[in-house]
């Protein structure tokens, strides 16, 4: 197993990030979850990574996608499911994944112990290598989130974060084509890194004066 993913060998999968779940999970705040999933969608755009978004119909309990996510996606297609917790149980989703030609999947979803867990396990069973982006996923309680993560890791799923994924894709600041996108991403979604960048800019400004 290769421990690092690249933009050339992976696809990003977003599962059920709908407003109907926002009232249910407590393992993370809504703001944290929105921040993480929007960051992942932006990562797919910055690095040209295939992006598969799946959810239920807007009139289902999941509801429409987070408005912030929908704004980033624009007219990007959403693979609608009829209710399967393991998205691989539905042909349209399986076809969409196969069409990417990628065997390494970077997944996030709601709820962690529901559709993310079952879809990740389904992917492993079908021979895919899976990363679960845990700060773009959430669960009813912290305990159930952690239990689902434990079950996934026991099956071979690798836990990660959106920033780890972005850093693996970027590799180095020397990759100038995507460096500005990476900088904007981190500055917009990680306040601590944004402050660090501002501090460094301040130091350089005073050093030059």
What tokens appear for 91 in the block? 């042909």
Q: In degrees to the nearest 10, what's the CA dihedral of 22, 26, 27, 33?
A: 20
Catalytic residue chosen out of the listed positions 115, 116, 149, 165: 115
Who contacts 117 (Cβ-Cβ below 8 Å, separation ≥6)? Answer: 148, 151, 152
The residue written with tokens 């974060």 in the block is: 161
| Gap between the terminal Cα atoms of the chain | 50
Who contacts 71 (Cβ-Cβ below 8 Å, separation ≥6)? Answer: none
The answer to whether the beta carbons of residues 48 and 19 sit under 8 Å apart is no
Q: Is 139 a catalytic residue?
A: no
Alpha carbons 158 and 152: distance in angstroms, whole number: 8
Q: In degrees to the nearest 10, what's the CA dihedral of 186, 135, 50, 45?
A: -20
Bond from prior residue into 134 cis (ω within 30 degrees of 0): no
| Active-site residue set | 115
């Amino acid at each position: 197993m290769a421990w690092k993913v690249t933009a050339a060998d992976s696809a990003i999968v977003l599962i059920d990030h709908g407003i109907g779940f926002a009232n249910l999970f407590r393992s993370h705040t809504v703001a944290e979850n929105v921040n993480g999933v929007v960051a992942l969608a932006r990562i797919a755009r910055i690095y040209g990574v295939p992006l598969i978004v799946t959810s239920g119909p807007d009139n289902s309990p999941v509801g429409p996608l987070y408005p912030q996510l929908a704004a980033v996606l624009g007219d990007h297609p959403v693979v609608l499911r009829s209710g399967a917790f393991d998205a691989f149980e539905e042909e349209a989703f399986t076809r969409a994944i196969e069409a990417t030609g990628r065997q390494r999947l970077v997944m996030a979803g709601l709820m962690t112990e529901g559709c993310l867990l079952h879809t990740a396990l389904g992917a492993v069973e079908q021979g895919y290598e899976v990363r679960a982006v845990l700060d773009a996923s959430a669960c009813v309680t912290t305990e159930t989130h952690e239990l689902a993560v434990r079950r996934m890791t026991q099956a071979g799923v690798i836990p990660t974060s959106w920033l780890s994924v972005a850093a693996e894709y970027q590799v180095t600041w020397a990759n100038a084509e995507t460096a500005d996108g990476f900088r904007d991403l981190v500055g917009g979604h990680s306040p601590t890194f944004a402050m660090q960048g501002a501090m460094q800019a301040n130091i350089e400004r005073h050093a030059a004066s």
